[in-house]
Amino acid sequence: MSALLPEGGRRDAANRHRRGDPVVPYNFRRPDRVSREQMHSLHFLHDRFARNVATSLSAYLRTVVELSVVSVEQGSYAEFLTSVSDPTAFYALSINPFSELAALEITPPVAFAMIDRMLGGGGRIVSFNRALTEIEQNVVDSVVKLVLAGLTETWKPIVDLTFGIRARETRPQMLRVSAPNEVVVMIVFDIKVSEARGTISLCIPSDIVEQVGASFAHVWKRQRRELTEQERGWLLAGLGAVPVPVVPLIHTRLSANDVLALQEGDVLSLALPAAHAIDLQVGGIPKLKGHLAIGGGRLRVQIESRCDAPTSSLAGVA
């Protein structure tokens, strides 16, 4: 090494050694292709992707989905293959307009929970030690397309590319995505669907990151993504089916002796005039005002106004 360095370089190295500067390990056989700043940008970029896709998947699957970035590392594609399950839900991804392929893996516990949820189940935890069937893969495809749409939207501020499904397999070794020694960026997400927990692993060729490296400065400009009309429809449909308690508030006060003396057949007088409006709580929050009414042999409440807009009037009987 001394023969490769000029005299000034050798003096600088000696000075750093005397100052006790930390020694940083460097692998000459596999140098890092992606800089540390770009790795931080990738982490930030996909952390935002995780938040957005968690919202979309929660609306699509109609259950709570949690998604977060666990790690962002670079290594060889062979190392990525050793880190994924077998069998599993494994996808080769096209990245237009680039010619290189990416890879995506969803661990079986999460894949089976998604399938159970989409086929009408509760997303329960299942422990099938088998590969997904063709029908099950078709079901998972719809979730993967939603994830890839989120990836495309997240990368749009950096570069105009489109992620798509090129091929799929249950045995990762049977699907050729890249050369074993090719350097890739491996992004691992922790995902929880209902009660099932697993990981989603994304593998992106380092060549693509290098080609768009100059554009990563724009990543630090935080941009809040607006929901699409389809996602807004999913949210409204999901929230519209949630039952909420509606409780009329009628209060009175009695002494403890009067409460103990109450017997069957006693009539309890309320400290509320018959013509006085009462409040209705929706989910524990006062939202409506109305009057007690009788119709069809049942006690009802005729809605007159909203608590947050006293001047408005709603006709009808609840």
| pLDDT tens digits, one per residue of 259-317 | 888 888 888 777 777 777 888 888 778 888 888 777 777 878 888 888 864 443 333 43
Show the tokens assigned to 196: 């099932």
Instruction: Tell which residue, 211, 216, 220, 200, has the closest CA to residue 97.
Output: 211
CA–CA–CA angle 219, 220, 223 (5° rounding): 75
Taking every pair of C-alpha atoms in the chain, what is the biggest distance, in angstroms?
107
CB neighbours of 4 closer than 8 A, spacing ≥ 6?
none
Domains of the chain: residue spans and CATH: 29-239 (3.40.1550.10), 244-306 (2.30.330.10)
Is the pLDDT at 30 greater than 70? The verdict is: no
Q: Can you say whether the dihedral through the CA atoms of 255, 258, 259, 265 is positive or negative? A: negative
Out of 47-56, 131-140, 176-185, 230-239, pick the least confident: 230-239
pLDDT of 303 reads 84
Q: What is the mean pLDDT of the chain?
A: 80
> Residue 312's pLDDT is what?
38
**More confident position, 31 or 187:** 187
Q: What is the 3-state secondary structure (H, E, C) of 48-72?
A: HHHHHHHHHHHHHHCCCEEEEEEEE
Q: What is the pTM of this model?
A: 0.60
- Looking at residue 90, its amino acid is F
Q: Residue 164: left if φ>0, alpha if ψ -120 to 50, beta else—which one? A: beta
